[in-house]
Amino acid sequence: MSAAPLSSAEIAAIRAQFPILDREVNGHPLTYLDSAATAQKPRRVLDAERAFYERENAAVHRGAHTLAAEATELYEDARRTIAAFLAVDENEVVFTGNATEGINLVATAIGIASSGRGAGADFPTYALQPGDEILTTELEHHANLIPWQELAARTGATLRHIPVTDDGMLDLDAVPSLITERTRVVAVTAVSNVTGFVTPLERLVPLARAVGALVVLDACQAAPHLALHPRELDVDVAVFSGHKLYGPTAIGVLYGRAAVLDALPPHLFGGSAITTVTLEKAHFLPAPQRFEPGTPRIAEAIGLAEAVRFVTEIGMDRIAATEHVLAERLHAALAAIPGIRVLGGSAVPAGQRVALASVVVEGVHAHDAGQVLDDQGIAVRVGHHCAQPLHRRLGATASLRLSAGVHTTADELDRAIAAVAGIRAYFGLDSEAGDVGKDT
């Protein structure tokens, strides 16, 4: 039985937990539709961070005093909380600075292994050689593209890409010919940050598994909206940022299958990640500590754990059900506006997109369109959303993106849709659709 969407009363109670939603912007109530860039924070997350600094602030994993023990327990409890959220073991959860750092951790570690020198000499499992292949897609955020470009350049591996169709969906027919015995890494997004489409991983991961490729999942746009269980998805690595999941900035999570983490060398070097050090050589702790050198982001991890408790109490299944309703409402309404082109096709299976849409306004640059909405207190994202190749493939240089959060109401969506419908009239342009999509 599928979960029921949140009721209006439940959403109102959720909204009341976000202090920032009480404010006005440019004389209008704030309508925040930029959650895909960063989510707002419920009061309990702010309180959790502040309480740590006021009551338990100390370095973790060191010191014999009470504060140090309490801080360590809070930090490791945060790891356990996030492991439970992902349905994985706590030693498979690595705290990072953000998702970008998490992907770079894996790519850099593979590069070090490929060098065969230093720490890399002890971790040869995932070393790349010239002729090996790394596979990404045209959908990717730059954070899941550029690290692999750099790794390919440093190792002599070949970087290949799964193309997208004119509708902005993965061309799954091309996948069998792109995943070969030479494929060593497959890096893919779970949800596009431009179209909101959910990647059909069930069609992709088995092919990667068949050739023994390492599967790396960018889960940034999935974690706040859908239940994220990496083991069920059968991926080796999954990363997401805390700030998109109603948590603090400067904290991210990397899930790594235990056997994978055990086979990767450290990517940064220093204290807290070692067992013994001589003047000639260091010996490293097992995961996850091997990947968390120095003083970690303690307060941020505690805040993120509170954010995870927040969404868990609401229920990820109910969040997903609510977003499905909002997504269909958003896409249908935007697609019906003359002079507006929604990036990505409309023939998407039910439940296969989150409440996110990017649009091009005929004759109006995205930044100008965004300013019109901001004047009405509506916060959206404009630009290429760190996805230039996908925008280029879809014939746009920039777009205006609306993205909902757990606190978004249908009335807010309707208000934003009406504002988008008025953009061309604001600039004195005809309302009739023309050659939509060519920015001026």
Q: Residue 402: which of 433, 435, 363, 369 has the closest Cα?
A: 369
Is the Cβ–Cβ distance between 72 and 439 less than 8 Å? no
3-state secondary structure (DSSP) of residue 213: coil
Which of the following is catalytic: 146, 274, 386, 436?
Answer: 386
Report helix angle 146-155 to 99-115, nearest 10: 10
HSE of 292, CA atoms in CB hemisphere, 13 A? 26
Cα angle at 99 between 97 and 102, to 5 degrees?
75
DSSP 3-state percent helix, strand, coil across the chain (nearest 5) = 40, 15, 40
Transcribe 216-244 into DSSP letters: EEE-TTTTTTS---HHHHT-SEEEEEGGG
d(CA 416, CA 411): 9
386 included as an active-site residue? yes
Helix or strand holding residue 182 (H, E): none
- Please compute Rg for the chain using Cα positions: 23
C-alpha distances in Å from residue 373, one per residue of 122, 355, 370: 55, 18, 5
- The catalytic site residues sit at 386
